Every structure is written in C-alpha cells, then in structure tokens.
Structure 1
C-alpha cells in the first residue's frame, strides 16, 4: 500500500486553495467540479508533484457528526494533520511574516520540534521537524 491522497476538511474550498498555495506554498494538482458547490481539489508539495496529494475536501454541511468532530478538534487545539518541514523555526518565521496565526510556537518535544497554526478553514495544522 501507498499513501496517495489524504483529505483535510475545509469550510470553503476557494479560501483553502488560496491559503494552501499562497501561504503554505503547495501547488494545485487537480481541480475537477463535482457539483455546484463541491470540487475534487488537491494540492501537492512543489518538491514532490507526483507525491501524496492533500484533498481540500468540503466539510460535510449536512453531516452533523463530521461538523462536530472538526469543530471539537479545533477548539481543543488538536491538529487535524501534520506536515514535515526541514526547519520548524524558519518555517514558523516565514509563515508568521505572511500573517499565519500560530497557537503553538516552535517547541521541542523529545526527538521532534513542532509548531501549530490555524489554516483559516477550520483546522489546526502541525508542522514537524525531526531532530
């Protein structure tokens, strides 16, 4: 088995696309309309454009358990997912300069350094550096 696509629920796909490309630096890979208000929309790392894709999946509007789950994770400060980076401090400073809001500043935890930010689409996202 291989990881091909992971999904991140987002409250607004267009806003998410802008944040994930303009702030985080991902590039759009696939954008296929599925309905009036939904698209199969993926982004990838510019360094691994044939690697795993992040599906910016619309949060289920009519499925209350999913809405409660996403909101509960966010309010508890728990990251929905994480992305690896070479240098958490450097990435933290770059993103802060772009206006990204962090709930956890760079922190060493055993063999990793982490930081957590708000993706503006209903999720906390963690960046991780292996030490």
Structure 2
C-alpha cells in the first residue's frame, strides 16, 4: 500500500487554498469542480510534486457528526494532523511573521520539537522537528 491522498476538512476551500499555498508554501496539484460548492482540490509539497497529496476537503455542512468532531478537536487544541519540518523554530518564526496564530509555541518534548497553529479553516496543525 502507498499513501496517495490524505484529507483535511476545511470550512472554506478557497480560503484554505490561499492559506495552504501562499502561507504554508504548498502548490496546487488538482482542482476539479464536483458541484457548485465543492471541488476535488489537492495541494502538494513543491519539492515532492509526485508525493502524497493533501485533499482540502469541504467540511460537511449537513453532516452534524463531522462538524462536531472537527470543532471538538479544534476546541480541545488537538491537531488534526502534523507536518514534519527541518527546523520548528525557523518555521514558527516565518509563519508568525506572516500572521499565523499559534496555540503552542515551539516546545521540546523528548526527541521532538513541536508547535501548533490555526490553519484558519477549522483545524489545528502541528509541525514537528525530529531532534
């Protein structure tokens, strides 16, 4: 088995696309309309364009359990997913300078350093550096 697509629920696909590309530095890979409101919209790491894609999946507006789950994770400060980075402090400084809101500043935890930010689309995302 091979991971090809991972999904992250987002409350606004256009806002998510802007944040994930302009702020985080991913690039758009696929953008296919599925309906008037929804698209199959993926982004990838610009250095690994054939690697795993992140599906910026529309958060279901009419499926209460999904909305409840996403909100519960966010409210508890639990990251929806994590991205590995070479240097958490440098990435924190870069994103902080761009106005990204962090709920956990760079913190060493055993063999890793982490930080957690708000993706502006309903999720907390954790960045991790292996020490």
Q: TM-score, length-normalised on structure 1?
A: 0.99
Partner of residue 67, structure 1: 67
Residues 19-73 of structure 1 show CA distances to partners (whole Å, capped at 9, x for unaligned) of: 0000000000000000000000000001100000000000001100000000000
Question: Where does the alignment leave 5 or more consecutive residues of structure 1 unmatched?
Answer: none
**C-alpha separation between the residues in 2 aligned to 1:102 and 1:37?**
29
- Displacement, 1:119? 0.2
Q: Aligned partners of 1:25, 1:119: CA distance in 2, in Å?
A: 13
CA RMSD of aligned residues (A): 0.3
TM-score normalised according to structure 2 size: 0.99
Task: Map Cα deviations across residues 68-127 of structure 1 (whole Å, 9 max, x no partner).
Answer: 000000000000000000000000000000000000000001110000000000000000
Q: Show the counterpart of 1:30.
A: 30
Matched, 1:101 2:101: yes
Show the counterpart of 1:123: 123
Q: Counterpart in 1 of 2:92?
A: 92
In structure 1, how many angstroms separate the alpha carbons of the residues matched to 2:109 and 2:48? 27
SS at match of 2:78: coil
3-state SS of paired residue (2:75): helix
User: CA separation in 1, counterparts of 2:36 and 2:85?
Assistant: 35
